[in-house]
Every structure is written in structure tokens, then in C-alpha cells.
């Protein structure tokens, strides 16, 4: 049968604190043998007892039991006497020790009281130190997380930083005065900043900031030079635009500030472009109307041609009928051929109005094509203006000069070919 942890612990405790009494156990053993033998004799089972115990019952066996029981009794009696003496000795020793302790307590109690008071004093000091350390730790945590304030007298600041630096920081209001000045008391100055970084780290930060300032200054100079160049370019562009606008008899308001002048030029160009876009839309609509008119004229011309062809067919049919009628009488069909061909000779005369109308339509399409070219040129100018005002001005002047030259030097035949 297995035992659990609690039972094992109980057995171990009992073995540790129990004392084995051998004489007492031996005396109980001999008593149990005598009791068992008496019981078997009374029941008449002596032979069974002899068989189980493997003994020969007789006077010898009885004498042995008697001697053994006497010995066990004496051992038990001696053991009890020894225990009694040991207990008395232990009690006497305890009493003597107690008397000695009572005698010594008269001298030890004051010493113990003084030691107790000393321990209490030390414990209180340790508690104060612990509270101070806790405050310092909390302050250090605050310093590590965010800004904090530090307040001390002006003399302390001068000793730590130097008089010159302290005065400089006071003038820059980095060190701020706390409270009102009272005669006979030192002035307190407070600083609020992040003190987590050490001197080496701050020097490194200052070096990096100076390097960034130098780099930004250099970039500023480069950008300033570029801006000055761009300003010169815009100035030239403005002068070119003014000259071009003066050639076209347009009023230009000259401002003292160049930026406002450029904004005015851009605004005027936007308005002009809006007008040009409206005109372009109108011209596109006109072109669509002209195309519709041309389609109608083509349909009318086609109908007229069909009517003329029908008339010619009718005339040819009449001529054939006349020839058939005159053939038996005159026998001269060849002499009448010029008369029969007279309607054919008149056909170009009938078509002269049609050719005139076609020529007028072509001329009108030519004019509209030139207008469309102007619109396209102005759109190109608008796209160029988005890339740069200077390119717009130059492209605008060159395009207009080319346009005027082309319009002056082209012939009707050339215009028709372009169309």
C-alpha cells in the first residue's frame, strides 16, 4: 500500500520524536508468550501450541520462561530508574540555568534595552534613506521621460557655470528669477529643460546642428543665385512682352514691383486665352455650319446635274425622234448633227454658275482654314506659356511673324493647295 506525502511526513516526524524503549518491549514480549501458553492449556490445545511454536513443553521450558520474565522485569525496572534519574537531573539543570539567567538579567536587560533603542534608531534612519532614494529614483524617471525644473541661487549657478555664462543665460531669460527679491536673501533662479543628455552628447548635437546650418546656408546661397538668374530671365521676358504689346497698340500698366507686373501679365494672358478659346469654339461652330452648307450645296449641285442629265436625255430623245421623222424627207442626217449637238455645247454655259459657287465655297473654306491656323497657333502659345513665359513670348512673336508672312506671300492657288 503506497503512502501519500502527508502520511510519509507524519511517519518521519514520529520516528524523529519517538524513543524506542527496548526493555519495555522485551518485557511485553515475554508476557505475551506466557499469556498465549496459558490460553492454550486452558483450551486443551497444548500440542497445537507445541507444533506452532516448535517447543517441547515441560519443566525446563517453564523454568526458562520464568527466568526470562524475571530478567525482563529487572531490565524494565532499571530502565525506569535511569529515566527517573535523568529527568531529575534535567529538571535540576533547568532550575540552575533559570537561576543563572535571573541573576544575569539584572545586568543584561539595560544592555538589551539600549541595543533595542539603537536598532530602532537605525531602522528609522534606513527608512528616511529609503524615502530619499525613492524620491531620487522618481526624479530620475521624470528626467529620463521629459523636461524638469532646477532651482538654485545665483551664486551656485555662477560656481557651476561661471559668472560670464550665468549672466549670459540670465540675459537670454534661460535662467528665470523665482519669487521677489528680499534683502538679505539670495536670489533664486530656475531653469526648465531636458537634462537627460550629457555634455558629450550635447556637444555632438551642437556639432550636427552647426553642420546642418552650414549646409542650409550653402543651399540658400545656391537657390538665391538661381532665383536671381530666374529673375533676370523674367525681366527680359517682361520687356519682350511689353515690346510686343506696344506693337499691337495694347495698354500696359507698369507696376513698380516686378512680381505684381508678372502677375498682371499672366492674368491678361489668361483673359486673352479665354477670349481666344471662345473665339475658337465659335469658329469651330462656324466651320461645322459651313460644312453643313457645303453638304447642302453639293446635294443641290448633284440634283442640278441629275436634272441636266435628264434634260439632255430628253433632248437626245427628241433629236432622235426628229431625225427619225426627217430621215425619209431630207435624207441629210449629217447636216443636222451640229444642231443636235447644240445643247451639249451649251452645257458649260449652264454649269458656269455652279463653278462660281464652288469657287466661292473654296475661298470661304480657305479663309476659315487660316482662322483655324491662327487658333491652333494661339493654342500652341498657351501650351508654351505653361512651360515658361519667356518661351511663350518668343514663340508668340515668331508664330505671328510667320503667319503674317505666309498670309502676305501666299497666292490663291497656293491656299487652295493647302486646303
Residues 149 and 83 in one domain: no
> Which tops the pLDDT comparison, 178 or 283?
178
> Which tops the pLDDT comparison, 146 or 314?
314
Residues 184 and 112 in one domain: no
**Conformational region of residue 359, where left means phi above 0, alpha means psi within -120 to 50, and beta covers everything else:** alpha
Domain of 180, in residue numbers: 145-234
In 3D, which of 386, 391, 382 has the Cα closest to residue 277?
382
Residues 15 and 118 in one domain: yes
Residue 299 grid cell: 446635294
Three-state SS at 259: helix
Residue 404 belongs to a domain: no
pLDDT over 60 (residue 332): no
Contact 24, 79 (CB under 8 A): yes
pLDDT of residue 364: 54
The helix (run of H) or strand (run of E) holding residue 192 is strand 188-193
pLDDT over 60 (residue 411): no
pLDDT over 50 (residue 42): yes
What rounded mean pLDDT belongs to the chain?
Answer: 73
Contact 30, 65 (CB under 8 A): yes
Local confidence band at 116 (pLDDT 50, 70, 90 cut-offs): very high
Local confidence band at 419 (pLDDT 50, 70, 90 cut-offs): very low
Task: Report pLDDT digits (tens) over 43-89.
Answer: 887 788 777 777 777 788 888 888 888 898 898 889 889 888 988 99
Residues 82 and 109 in one domain: yes
DSSP class of 185: S
Residue 205 belongs to a domain: yes
In 3D, which of 284, 238, 286 has the Cα closest to residue 376?
284
Task: Report pLDDT digits (tens) over 243-271.
Answer: 887 777 655 454 455 667 677 777 777 77
Domain boundary among 234, 268, 283: 234
Residues 149 and 111 in one domain: no
Cβ-in-10-Å burial (0-12, 13-18, 19+) of 389 comes to buried
Domain boundary among 196, 212, 234: 234
Contact 400, 284 (CB under 8 A): no
pTM of the model: 0.26
pLDDT over 50 (residue 120): yes
Task: Report pLDDT digits (tens) over 351-405.
Answer: 444 455 545 555 554 545 555 444 444 454 444 444 444 444 444 434 444 444 4
Residue 85 belongs to a domain: yes
pLDDT over 90 (residue 177): no
Among residues of the chain, what percentage have pLDDT more than 90? 11
pLDDT of residue 43: 82
pLDDT over 90 (residue 118): yes
> Which tops the pLDDT comparison, 169 or 20?
169
* DSSP letter string, 362-377: HHHHHHHHHHHHHHHH
Residues 67 and 93 in one domain: yes
Residues 49 and 159 in one domain: no
Residue 137 belongs to a domain: no
pLDDT over 50 (residue 1): no
DSSP class of 254: P
Among residues of the chain, what percentage have pLDDT more than 70? 69
pLDDT of residue 416: 34
pLDDT of residue 212: 93
Q: What are the residue ranges of helices labelled H in 44-58?
A: 46-53
Residues 178 and 112 in one domain: no
Residues 95 and 179 in one domain: no
Angle, CA of 19, 20 and 25, to the nearest 5°: 140
DSSP class of 255: P
Residue 249 belongs to a domain: no
Residues 120 and 68 in one domain: yes
pLDDT over 50 (residue 346): no
CA–CA separation, 70 and 73 (whole Å): 5
Residues 113 and 215 in one domain: no
pLDDT of residue 119: 96
pLDDT of residue 249: 60
Residue 215 belongs to a domain: yes
CA–CA separation, 285 and 122 (whole Å): 107
pLDDT of residue 366: 53
pLDDT of residue 197: 72
Task: Quote the number of domains for the chain.
Answer: 2
Q: What are the residue ranges of helices labelled H in 248-257?
A: none
Local confidence band at 326 (pLDDT 50, 70, 90 cut-offs): low
Local confidence band at 92 (pLDDT 50, 70, 90 cut-offs): very high
Local confidence band at 414 (pLDDT 50, 70, 90 cut-offs): very low
Residues 156 and 116 in one domain: no
pLDDT of residue 128: 95
Residue 312 belongs to a domain: no
Question: Most confidently modeled of 98-102, 137-141, 402-406?
Answer: 98-102
Q: Which of 150-154, 230-234, 389-393 has the lowest mean pLDDT?
A: 389-393
Domain boundary among 212, 234, 256: 234
Residue 224 belongs to a domain: yes
Amino acid at each position: 500500500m503506497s503512502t501519500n506525502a502527508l502520511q510519509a511526513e507524519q511517519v518521519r516526524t514520529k520516528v524523529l520524536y519517538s524513543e524506542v524503549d527496548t526493555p519495555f518491549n522485551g518485557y511485553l514480549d515475554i508476557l505475551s508468550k506466557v499469556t498465549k501458553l496459558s490460553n492454550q492449556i486452558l483450551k486443551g490445545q497444548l500440542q497445537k501450541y507445541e507444533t506452532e511454536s516448535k517447543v517441547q513443553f515441560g519443566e525446563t521450558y517453564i523454568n526458562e520462561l520464568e527466568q526470562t520474565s524475571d530478567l525482563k522485569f529487572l531490565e524494565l525496572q532499571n530502565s525506569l530508574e535511569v529515566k527517573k534519574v535523568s529527568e531529575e537531573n534535567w529538571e535540576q539543570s533547568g532550575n540552575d540555568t533559570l537561576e543563572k539567567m535571573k541573576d544575569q538579567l539584572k545586568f543584561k536587560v539595560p544592555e538589551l534595552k539600549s541595543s533595542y533603542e539603537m536598532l530602532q534608531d537605525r531602522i528609522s534612519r534606513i527608512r528616511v534613506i529609503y524615502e530619499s532614494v525613492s524620491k531620487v529614483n522618481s526624479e530620475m524617471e521624470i528626467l529620463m521621460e521629459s523636461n524638469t525644473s532646477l532651482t538654485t541661487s545665483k551664486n551656485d549657478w555662477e560656481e557651476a557655470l561661471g559668472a560670464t555664462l550665468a549672466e549670459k543665460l540670465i540675459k537670454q531669460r534661460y535662467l528665470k528669477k523665482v519669487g521677489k527679491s528680499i534683502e538679505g536673501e539670495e536670489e533664486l533662479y530656475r531653469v526648465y529643460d531636458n537634462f537627460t543628455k550629457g555634455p558629450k552628447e550635447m556637444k555632438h548635437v551642437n556639432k550636427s546642428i552647426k553642420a546642418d546650418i552650414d549646409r542650409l546656408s550653402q543651399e540658400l546661397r545656391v537657390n538665391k543665385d538661381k532665383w536671381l538668374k530666374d529673375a533676370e530671365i523674367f525681366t527680359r521676358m517682361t520687356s519682350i512682352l511689353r515690346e510686343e504689346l506696344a506693337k499691337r497698340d495694347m495698354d500696359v500698366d507698369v507696376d513698380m514691383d516686378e512680381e505684381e507686373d508678372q502677375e498682371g501679365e499672366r492674368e491678361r494672358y489668361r483673359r486673352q486665352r479665354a477670349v481666344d478659346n471662345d473665339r475658337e469654339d465659335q469658329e469651330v461652330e462656324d466651320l461645322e455650319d459651313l460644312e453643313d452648307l457645303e453638304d447642302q450645296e453639293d446635294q443641290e449641285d448633284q440634283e442640278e446635274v441629275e436634272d441636266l442629265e435628264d434634260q439632255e436625255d430628253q433632248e437626245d430623245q427628241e433629236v432622235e425622234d426628229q431625225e427619225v421623222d426627217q430621215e425619209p424627207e431630207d435624207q441629210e442626217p449629217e447636216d443636222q448633227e451640229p444642231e443636235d449637238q447644240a445643247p451639249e455645247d451649251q452645257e458649260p454655259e449652264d454649269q458656269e454658275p455652279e463653278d462660281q459657287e464652288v469657287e466661292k465655297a473654296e475661298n470661304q473654306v480657305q479663309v476659315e482654314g487660316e482662322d483655324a491656323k491662327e487658333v491652333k497657333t494661339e493654342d500652341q502659345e498657351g501650351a508654351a506659356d505653361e512651360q515658361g513665359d519667356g518661351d511663350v513670348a518668343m514663340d508668340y512673336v515668331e508664330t505671328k511673324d510667320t503667319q503674317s508672312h505666309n498670309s502676305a506671300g501666299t497666292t490663291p492657288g497656293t491656299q487652295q493647295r493647302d486646303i
